[in-house]
Amino acid sequence: MQLLLAEPDPALSREILAACGDLIEMTACRDFPSARAQLVRDPPRILITNLRLADYNGLHLVFLAENEDGLLVIRILHVRQDIDQELG
């Protein structure tokens, strides 16, 4: 099963990749333009996106992916920086 991950934090991307193991073929993109290009070129079965993608919102990817049949979308609502700021 193919997964597209749009996540600017390489450490979090590695954690997600490790959690998926060998069961899922993952393509990781660190920004919106590369994730959008990958989504159009080779639509995945699963999309995981951070909501904060520099000048874009991860929801833009969700809207682009809406028309893909059988696509499961997972949104990451909090990023590590937000959590660190909250904890001080």
Q: pLDDT tens-digit profile of 31-79?
A: 999 999 999 898 888 888 888 888 888 888 888 887 666 666 666 555 5
pLDDT of residue 87: 47
Q: Which domains does the chain have, with CATH numbers?
A: 2-87 (3.40.50.2300)
Element (H, E) at 44: none
Residue 73 identity (one-letter amino acid): V
How far is Cα 52 from Cα 30, in angstroms, rounded to an integer? 11
C-alpha radius of gyration, the chain, whole number: 13
Reported pTM:
0.77
pLDDT of residue 68: 63
